[in-house]
Amino acid sequence: MDKITIDDFAKVEIRVGTVKSAEKAEGADKLIKFIFDFGDEERQVMSAIAEFYPDPEVLVGKQICVCTNLEPRTFRGHESQGMILAVDNPEGGVIFIGPEEKSPAGAKLH
Could you tell me if 94 and 87 are in contact, meaning their C-beta atoms sit under 8 angstroms apart?
A: yes
Across the chain, mean pLDDT equals 96
Task: Name the class of domain 8-96.
Answer: mainly beta
Secondary structure (3-state) at 95: strand
Closest-CA residue to 58 (of 87, 89, 19): 19
Q: Which residues contact 80 (CB under 8 A, 6 or more apart)?
A: 44, 45, 46, 47, 72, 73, 74
Domain residue limits, the chain: 8-96
Q: Which residues contact 101 (CB under 8 A, 6 or more apart)?
A: none
Secondary structure (3-state) at 54: coil
Residue stretches of the chain with pLDDT short of 50:
none
Could you tell me if 85 and 15 are in contact, meaning their C-beta atoms sit under 8 angstroms apart?
A: no
CA separation for the pair 103, 72 (Å, rounded): 25
Whole-model pTM?
Answer: 0.92
pLDDT score at 92: 85
pLDDT score at 10: 94
In degrees and rounded to multiples of 5, residue 99 shows phi and psi of -70, 150
